[in-house]
């Protein structure tokens, strides 16, 4: 069953600052902030929310279809996707633009300072998915503003259930626009910071937002996650990571687990635990798409993390 993943495909330039940002940012001087961080460690990775989610869903055995707008420099990424067997026939190349670029600096506390150049992503509203047969589920992640609004209308009109995951794109929308997207969606996924921003912008409580969708998922980093469904709050524990090396892409890995569980009709406890485990597996590796697992190793890790069995598929 193909799953449409709408959002960014980007190159991530990831740098590590071997100290803590808080030691170098003076709270009483933020109105005139001018800081420079020496970053002796730097690498370039394949990333973007859509690319990362698709990578994890593919590892699980799903059939992701990436829908993104990219630029003249997309060639190496396309070759990688082809080698992995991940569909990108909904990806449109604009030769006059760059592929989106993300510049990320992490400190020793895993805090991040990120600069993002959208490039071709700003033209995502012209993409189409009507040639993809058998779509039963989709996710709308951070993308160009008009593209996110267009996908919301199109998926709703086509009757395809979807997860609305506004992420870093949330500041692009008014409270009224966000409520319109939530009302059209079947599922809403955010981290705890984004959830606070959503409630502030819309004037709705989490309980009120949860009542508008089949399920509301809020991730809380090392504190696990909460799934609001049918008037209940299901607490999902965080799986213990073998190492904490790089948080980049952890939320995307979590969302792949959500999509996989939803596709298979699993209960929310099982789905949430799988999502949590994928986040833990990712954080133990650098980059958004360098971790590996198969069904057998995933089943063992799930049992060790939660003391119960992962359903077979």
- DSSP readout, 167-196? GGGGGGS-HHHHHHHHHH-SEEEEEHHHHH
Q: How far apart are CA 49 and CA 34, in angstroms?
A: 29
The C-alpha angle 184, 224, 60, rounded to 5 degrees, equals 70
Place 104 in a pLDDT band, splitting at 50, 70 and 90. Answer: confident
Q: How is the chain split into domains, by residue range? A: 2-10+47-101+120-306
CATH class of segment(s) 2-10+47-101+120-306 = alpha beta
> What mean pLDDT comes out for the span 119-144?
95
Confidence (pLDDT) at 205: 98
Give Dmax over CA atoms of the chain in angstroms: 56
Per-residue pLDDT at 1 exceeds 90: no
Tell me which residue of 203, 132, 212, 117 sits closest to 164, measured CA to CA. Answer: 212
Q: What is the pLDDT of residues 170-202, one digit of tens each?
A: 999 999 999 999 999 999 999 999 999 999 999
Q: How far apart are CA 253 and CA 283, in angstroms?
A: 9
Active site residue 252: yes
The reported pTM is 0.92
> What mean pLDDT comes out for the span 5-28?
91
End-to-end CA distance of the chain: 13
Place 151 in a pLDDT band, splitting at 50, 70 and 90. Answer: very high
Q: What is the pLDDT of residues 158-170, one digit of tens each?
A: 999 999 999 989 9
Confidence (pLDDT) at 309: 96
Residue 284 CB contacts under 8 Å (≥ 6 apart), including other chains: 241, 242, 243, 244, 245, 291
What CA dihedral angle connects 302, 303, 304 and 307, to 10 degrees?
120
Judge whether 258 and 217 are in contact, CB under 8 Å.
Answer: yes
Q: Which of 107, 143, 246, 252 is catalytic?
A: 252
């Amino acid at each position: 069953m193909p799953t449409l993943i709408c959002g960014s495909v980007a190159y991530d330039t990831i740098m590590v600052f071997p100290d803590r940002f808080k030691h170098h940012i003076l709270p009483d001087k933020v109105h005139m902030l001018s800081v420079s961080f020496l970053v002796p460690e730097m690498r370039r990775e394949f990333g973007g929310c859509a690319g990362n989610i698709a990578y994890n869903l593919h590892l699980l055995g799903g059939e992701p279809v990436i829908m993104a707008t990219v630029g003249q420099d997309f060639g190496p990424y396309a070759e990688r996707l082809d080698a992995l067997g991940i569909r990108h026939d909904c990806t449109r190349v604009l030769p006059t633009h760059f592929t989106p670029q993300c510049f990320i600096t992490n400190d020793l506390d895993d805090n991040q300072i990120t600069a993002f150049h959208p490039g071709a992503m700003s033209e995502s509203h012209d993409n189409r998915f009507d040639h993809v047969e058998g779509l039963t589920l989709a996710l709308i992640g951070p993308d160009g503003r008009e593209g996110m609004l267009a996908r919301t209308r199109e998926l709703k009109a086509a009757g395809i259930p979807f997860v609305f995951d506004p992420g870093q794109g949330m500041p692009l929308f008014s409270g009224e626009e966000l409520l319109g997207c939530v009302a059209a969606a079947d599922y809403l996924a955010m981290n705890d910071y984004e959830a606070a921003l959503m409630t502030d912008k819309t004037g709705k409580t989490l309980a009120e937002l949860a009542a508008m969708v089949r399920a509301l998922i809020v991730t809380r980093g090392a504190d696990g996650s909460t799934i609001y469904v049918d008037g209940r709050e299901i607490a999902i524990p965080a799986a213990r990571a073998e190492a904490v090396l790089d948080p980049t892409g952890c939320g995307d890995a979590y969302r792949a687990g959500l999509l996989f569980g939803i596709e298979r009709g699993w209960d929310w406890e099982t789905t949430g635990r799988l999502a949590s485990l994928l986040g833990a597996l990712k954080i133990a590796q650098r980059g958004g798409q360098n971790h590996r697992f198969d069904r057998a190793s995933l089943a063992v890790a799930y049992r060790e993390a939660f003391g119960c069995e992962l359903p077979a598929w």
